[in-house]
Amino acid sequence: MSSIKTVTLVGGSGSLGSVVLQKLLASEFDVQVIRRTGSKATFPDTVKVVDVDISSVEALTAALTGQDAVVSTVSDFLAQIPLIDAALAAGVKRILPSEFGCDLDHPKVAQLPVFGHKVQVVNYLREKCPGSALSYTLVRNCAFLDWGVQYNFIINYSEYKPSVFGSGDTTFSATSLASVADAVVGVLRKPEETKDRAVYVEDTKLTQNKLVEIGKQVAPEKPWAVTSANLDDVTAAADARLAKGIIDAETMVPYLFRAIFDESYGSNWEKTDNELLGLKGKTDDEVAAIVKQYIK
């Protein structure tokens, strides 16, 4: 396919989207941002911002006309259905949906309730893209490295009492926000090699025990005390909440834990597209430097 020159970012003010925007602006692409009508999100003066009713296919189509690619980092995954329809109508060449995370092609992962809407979006793309001008790329980075440490997700360093699931030795892939954003740019630079498929990236492989040891390494003076948690108990509690119709973070996060910390869910990438996309990964010292930022 022909090269990509114009790129629209949707969701450019969030944790990942803001980093993707920085990387896109530093690249060779001509970038515009779609901002939801009524949003108070702000962007640099140098960025072309289009305010759009993101539920309107007609309005989105007008905003996407003349664009080669769309990158979505939105958290409302089903809001991407009209975005896909608009990309098809506008003749966009490539869409990167807000896929970032676990391997939805793994059958056990796809069955987890937390991924239901993401699976719907992927299935919709695979149904609609064939025979059209639109192709897709799914960027999969497993756990977020810096975000996961900062927000006590892949390890909780608060009060220096981290809890690990089971033995704490399950290996999982982890990727920083900046490296995920670099992967997005890499995909846009390699449209043919990344067409209609998932790409897998990682900065490093971790275990929760390794994260505990890194914490002790960078802050040896702290009163560390490690506890253990049972993944089955946590997800059983989530199942009970779900059965009552309670849909919130307390219900859904345990399923993310299952996807990452249960080795049978494929969270340790066997092979990656790092080389294709220009990612170098991170050394243990670089990972330790990230961790150190978030231990107070």
Q: Shortest CA distance to 210 belongs to which of 258, 256, 143, 259?
A: 143
Tell me the two tokens of residue 208.
Answer: 């929760």
What one-letter code names the amino acid at 107? P
What one-letter code names the amino acid at 66? G
Q: Shortest CA distance to 122 belongs to which of 137, 101, 107?
A: 137
Q: What is the pLDDT of residues 2-58, one digit of tens each?
A: 699 999 999 999 999 999 999 999 999 999 999 999 999 999 988 999 999 999 999
E strands, the chain, are: 6-10, 30-36, 48-52, 69-72, 94-96, 135-140, 143-144, 163-165, 172-175, 197-200, 204-206, 227-229
Q: Is the pLDDT of residue 149 over 80?
A: yes
Q: Is the pLDDT of residue 1 over 70?
A: no
Q: What is the pLDDT of residues 211-261, one digit of tens each?
A: 999 999 999 999 999 999 999 999 999 999 999 999 999 999 999 999 999
Q: How many CB atoms lie within 10 A of CB 26?
A: 11
Question: Can you tell me the distance from the alpha carbon of 271 to that of 73, in angstroms, rounded to the nearest whole number?
Answer: 24
The pLDDT score that the predictor gives to residue 130 is 97
Q: What is the pLDDT of residues 167-219, one digit of tens each?
A: 999 999 999 999 999 999 999 999 999 999 999 999 999 999 999 999 999 99
Tell me the two tokens of residue 62.
Answer: 């007008």
Question: Can you tell me the distance from the alpha carbon of 45 to that of 292, in angstroms, rounded to the nearest whole number?
Answer: 33
How do 204-206 and 172-175 pair as beta strands? antiparallel
The pLDDT score that the predictor gives to residue 296 is 87
Q: Which helix (H) or strand (E) holds 253?
A: helix 249-261
Phi, psi of 199, deg, nearest 5: -115, 145
The pLDDT score that the predictor gives to residue 46 is 87
What one-letter code names the amino acid at 260? I
DSSP 227: E
Q: Which helix (H) or strand (E) holds 81?
A: helix 80-90
Q: Is the pLDDT of residue 82 over 80?
A: yes
DSSP 74: -
Structural domains in the chain, CATH included, are: 6-140+176-200 (3.40.50.720), 144-173+204-270+278-293 (3.90.25.10)
**The model's pTM:** 0.96
The pLDDT score that the predictor gives to residue 95 is 99
The pLDDT score that the predictor gives to residue 209 is 98
Residue 271's pLDDT band, with cuts at 50, 70 and 90, is: very high
Mean pLDDT of the 71-83 span: 97
